[in-house]
Amino acid sequence: MAVLAGLQVIVSRSPIHSAIGLVTSFLAIAGLYVLLHAEFVAAVQVLVYAGGIMVLFLFVILLVNLRERSVWRPRPRTILQAGTGLLAIGAMLVLARRGHWMDVQPGAATDASVGNLEAVGAALFTDALLPFEIASLLLLVAMVAAIVLARDLGREGRDVGREER
């Protein structure tokens, strides 16, 4: 299901349909995280991806793509690129078959006495404390950069922005 939705992302004509495919794919992957006993990551996935990132995408689609229909017309170069990509996928699949990925047995069940959220939180704030702080700094920098990029564009860009407001 995740793969089908992912396919919809790249073949559909309207970006809105692509966004719907993307959010379906995200939700399917979140379900898979639950099956892999990573409930915390599943919750974060739903909140951040299916919530925040999709809202961002939809906003930008609404701001940008009102009249423009992007049609998927194949050209020789496109076919070449698609061939390259398909070749890469095929090679990876062959490698996967030869590496006997499928024969790996699933690991033993996790110790269920400690909840997944508690365990991840403890690891996050003890072992990975420095990366955690760095990630928060990175998010701050990204936020400032996004605001500056989307707003400060010289005279004509500023006028356009004012009209939209």
Partner 1 sequence: MSPMPVPPGHVLVLSLLLFGIGILGVLTRRNAIIILMSIELMMNAANLNLIAFSRQHQHLTGQVFGVFTIAVAAGEVAVGLAIVLALYRHFDSIKVDDVRLMKE
When asked if residue 94 is in the footprint of partner 1 (CB under 8 A), the reply is no
* Among residues 7, 62, 94, 115, the one that binds partner 1 under rule CB under 8 A: 7
Q: Are 22 and 57 in contact (CB under 8 A)?
A: yes
Q: Report the C-alpha gap between 51 and 156 in whole angstroms.
A: 32
Closest CA to 29 of 8, 11, 3: 3
When asked if residue 24 is in the footprint of partner 1 (CB under 8 A), the reply is: no
Determine, following the binding rule CB under 8 A, whether residue 115 of this chain makes contact with partner 1: no
According to the binding rule CB under 8 A, does residue 130 interact with partner 1? no
The single residue among 62, 94, 133, 142 that binds partner 1, judged by CB under 8 A, is 142
| Count of residues touching partner 1 (by CB under 8 A) | 87
Task: Pick from 27, 50, 98, 149 the residue near partner 1 by CB under 8 A.
Answer: 149
Secondary structure, 3-state, 92-130: HHHHHHHCCHHHCCCCCCCCCCCCHHHHHHHHHHHCCHH
44 neighbors 99 (Cβ within 8 angstroms): no
Subset of residues 42 to 61 that bind partner 1, contact rule: CB under 8 A: 44-45, 48-49, 52-53, 56-57, 59-61
Specify the residue, 112 or 165, whose C-beta has the smaller distance to partner 1.
112
